[in-house]
Structure 1
């Protein structure tokens, strides 16, 4: 079920008006889609942040734009102020609930690898996957169970359980997790001690025997 948020239309696009919007706790943004003309809006920052935090960045939002109409949208892009850590602009993409689209979904590791318990190192080279699905079927996360992985084992996209609601677009050979053998560090002190022994001089024993 889509989460409902309210937004306001923006007609004055000057910088002074944009600054005023931000002072009111609103974020300037835009709504657009294949069959929808781009429409400037503003939306409450706190409500949007809470929605994304609770529902995930791929949540379907029913966006009621004051003076316009309601749109089924997804948060497509956003910009942040790196100093103030505040949203400065958001893009909403109007979706067709009956058509598939591609979205990026976080990968979450669950379980403790058997090989890691034996001293191996669990590595996760991929943290996101691209899936194709209808908007309502896009998963919030994709879980990968690494419990059975032993040292040297590799888990790939092809090993993921097949889900009827979505399809992973990434290459089937892409590595999601692997357990590598622990790195063996040579004891340099022992090696130095062994290497520091004085070599036997040629002919030394023969001279001692002659005496």
Structure 2
């Protein structure tokens, strides 16, 4: 079910008017889509942030402009880094009957047995690429790691198939793994062992030249 968000038509695109809009708590935005003429609008900053926080980045938003509604997704946004304020948003008009490619957050569920045994959990993949109709996009992909042992990993190929969406991520991609506690230390020591002879050789050459 789409979340309703009201928008105001924005016809004056001058910088002075844009600043005024932001001072009023609104965010200038653009609505575009395949075969659609781009529209410039403004939405309430707090309401937009609340919608994304509560419903997720891939939420379907029913954007109402002058009494007309269009189903959109938040495609991109810009934040002013110094004040940490939302300053612009891009909405993509979607066709609810056509599949689209999106990335969905991955949520690890449970405490891995390997972590309890002293292993180090690593998660190389935080978002999963999928293809689905807008109404079938999950808020997150849950991966159960409770039984994961030291030395084991979960790849995209291990995920359960769903009739609502197609996973487009490479099946060989590792999502999470449990490393042995000393795996990182061994690599660091081996690097030091490789560099020390080079320093000794350098000193030897200097002595010979002198």
The interval holding the TM-score normalised by the smaller chain is 0.7 to 0.9
CA deviation map 1:162-205 (0-9, x unaligned)? 1110111110000000001111769xxxxxxxxxxxxxxxxxxx
Partners of 1:66 and 1:105 in 2: CA distance? 32
Match of 1:85 in 2: 84
Asked whether 1:182 is paired with 2:181, we answer: yes
Query: Which TM-score applies when normalising by structure 1?
Result: 0.85
Aligned residues between the structures: 185
Q: Which structure shows the bigger proportion of residues in helix conformation?
A: 2
1:37 aligns to what SS in structure 2?
strand
Match of 2:6 in 1: 6
2:86 aligns to what SS in structure 1?
strand
Match of 1:47 in 2: 47
Match of 1:71 in 2: 70
Partners of 1:167 and 1:152 in 2: CA distance? 29
CA deviation map 1:124-153 (0-9, x unaligned)? 011111110000110111111111111111
Match of 1:130 in 2: 129
CA deviation map 1:97-125 (0-9, x unaligned)? 00000111111111111111111111101
Asked whether 1:58 is paired with 2:58, we answer: yes
1:19 aligns to what SS in structure 2?
helix
- Pairwise CA distance, 1:66: 2.0
Partners of 1:88 and 1:78 in 2: CA distance? 8
Match of 2:156 in 1: 157
C-alpha RMSD of matched pairs (Å): 1.3
1:54 aligns to what SS in structure 2?
helix
Structure 2 stretches of 5 or more lacking a match? 187-210
Query: Which TM-score applies when normalising by structure 2?
Result: 0.86
Structure showing greater Rg: 1
Partners of 1:164 and 1:99 in 2: CA distance? 15
Q: What stretches of structure 1 move > 6 A for 4+ residues in a row?
A: none
Match of 2:15 in 1: 15
1:105 aligns to what SS in structure 2?
strand
Partners of 1:150 and 1:179 in 2: CA distance? 7
Match of 2:38 in 1: 38
Match of 1:116 in 2: 115
